[in-house]
Amino acid sequence: MNTMVKTTIALSPETRDLLRDLGNKGETYDDIILRLLMEAGWKHLDTPWNEILENDEFIPLDEL
């Protein structure tokens, strides 16, 4: 039995349809939203990581 507390969010029919289109077979709306949020979180980190790679100098571990 799933003991997760459930909540309701209001979506327009257009948003609901777009969300459904992004889902995979068997995924719930919760699954889809969670996956999208996790992907967005990683993409959000790309910018600072890329700036570090482009602008900082690295020393190989064997030279430390």
How far is the C-alpha of 27 from the C-alpha of 33, rounded, in Å?
10
Neighbour count for residue 25 (Cβ, 10 Å): 4
Percentage of the chain beyond pLDDT 70 is 97
Confidence at residue 51, expressed as pLDDT on a 0 to 100 scale: 82
* CB contact at 8 A, 32 and 19: yes
Look up the pTM and report it: 0.60
Alpha-carbon distance of 50 to 44, in angstroms, equals: 11
- Residue 50: the pLDDT is 80
User: Is the confidence at residue 2, as pLDDT, over 70?
Assistant: no
Over residues 31-62, the pLDDT tens digits come to: 999 999 988 877 777 887 788 888 877 777 88
Determine the angle formed by the axes of helices 13-22 and 29-55, rounding to 10 degrees.
Answer: 70
